[in-house]
Amino acid sequence: MTNASPELRKDGNPFGSHRVLEPKGGLPQPALRLDNCMDYLYDNELLVDVDTLNIDSASFTQIKAEAGGDEEKIKAKILAIVGERGKMQNPVTGSGGMFFGHVAAVGPGLKGKTDLKPGDKIASLVSLSLTPLKIEKIFGLKKGTEQVSVQAKAILFESGIYAKIPTDIPEKLALAILDVAGAPAQTAKLVRPNQVVAIIGAGGKSGLLCAYEASKIAGVAGIVVGLEYSKEACDKVKEFGFCDHVIQANATDALDCHAKLLAATGGKLADVVINCVNIPNTEMASILMCAHEGTVYFFSMATSFTKAALGAEGVGKDIVMLVGNGYTRHHAETTLNILRESPVIRKAYEKLYA
């Protein structure tokens, strides 16, 4: 091992089940509690000094609402969750987020399996909801974002994926973008030329990246429709110019969303619907906006499987509904490349995150 401080242990499970305290023998994501002791390191683990947590938007929104927007209460809630669970997994939303940090130690069992060395800057591409985390201190929250500045340590398991932070993109910006890397990369896989695409939450972090990819692929004969709740967010979507139409509607009001989509497109439903909101109860708007045999991609962590499955059945929609797997091949590169391709997106995101 390259860093001598933690005691070395053997026989760590590649998926991290050796760190699961409850229920024993399970995997870390669904676990209730993880062992987050950083005094020892299993020889197939990576130890990381964490500088920033990027809390998942659905989780952050829920914590912020519960705390009445009070920063000290938000910090206390984060500390309480990590203290209890050994990981930053919001018990209400079940979701996590990801971290940015510097590699502190590389277990010797990872030799030949990773090119990382101590000091390398990385962002985790696996969820905080399965990542052993110990927070020493919370310095503060970055205003207008879900980023939390911390002094903390985290463990990445052998199966855990990560991205090295590129030198041409500011660290905090890369972290913010990589958090939602699955969404634009899946959009690029789902959308075909000339299709109608509806993006719910098109002014948010992931929504905007999806709108960019969708408009690139749908092309001039395609129609990209962005839906947002507030006038400010709608104006923002219009300003970016990736959507052919912008609808102001509440995504929890399915009938209104359906009617407004038909009005905007001249009677067409969407071949692909991408749900990027951070609140619950938007399944039916997504389903009603989708054409028969179309696809809904539920990137939102606030999605209910039951509501989506029974809701689609209830309105007789034969559609494909995809669970928002945060990973798809080359998702990190696809998403970082958007910042290289689009100066307007880069400028806007730099203002917020960098």
Ligand X SMILES: NC(=O)c1ccc[n+]([C@@H]2O[C@H](COP(=O)([O-])OP(=O)(O)OC[C@H]3O[C@@H](n4cnc5c(N)ncnc54)[C@H](OP(=O)(O)O)[C@@H]3O)[C@@H](O)[C@H]2O)c1
Name which of 147 and 300 has its Cβ closer to ligand X. 300
For residue 258, the minimal CB distance to ligand X (Å) is 14
User: Site for ligand X (CB under 6 A): which residue of 203, 222, 226, 311?
Assistant: 203
For residue 147, the minimal CB distance to ligand X (Å) is 11
User: Site for ligand X (CB under 6 A): which residue of 12, 132, 201, 311?
Assistant: 201
Burial of 112 (0-12, 13-18, 19+ CB in 10 A): exposed
Check: CB of residue 282 under 8 Å from CB of residue 290: no
- Distance in angstroms (rounded) separating the CA atoms of residues 79 and 52: 14
Check: CB of residue 245 under 8 Å from CB of residue 223: yes
Name which of 88 and 104 has its Cβ closer to ligand X. 88
- Range 267-306, binding ligand X (CB under 6 A): 276-279, 299-302
For residue 285, the minimal CB distance to ligand X (Å) is 8
User: Site for ligand X (CB under 6 A): which residue of 19, 64, 172, 205?
Assistant: 205
For residue 96, state whether it binds ligand X (rule: CB under 6 A).
no
- Range 307-336, binding ligand X (CB under 6 A): 324, 326
What does the per-residue mask of binding to ligand X show for 129-168, with x meaning CB under 6 A?
A: ----------------------------------------
- Distance in angstroms (rounded) separating the CA atoms of residues 283 and 311: 8
- Distance in angstroms (rounded) separating the CA atoms of residues 50 and 166: 17
Strand ranges (E), 89-221: 97-106, 121-124, 133-141, 147-156, 162-164, 196-200
For residue 62, state whether it binds ligand X (rule: CB under 6 A).
no
- Range 227-256, binding ligand X (CB under 6 A): 227-230, 233, 250-252
Name which of 180 and 312 has its Cβ closer to ligand X. 180
For residue 204, state whether it binds ligand X (rule: CB under 6 A).
yes
Cα 100 off chain centre by: 14
- Distance in angstroms (rounded) separating the CA atoms of residues 81 and 135: 11
Check: CB of residue 154 under 8 Å from CB of residue 104: no
331-341 and 205-218 helices, crossing angle to 10°: 80
Both structure tokens of 65: 């609402």
User: Site for ligand X (CB under 6 A): which residue of 36, 57, 129, 187?
Assistant: 57
For residue 221, the minimal CB distance to ligand X (Å) is 27
Applying CB under 6 A, which residues contact ligand X?
A: 56-58, 95, 179-180, 182, 201, 203-207, 227-230, 233, 250-252, 276-279, 299-302, 324, 326
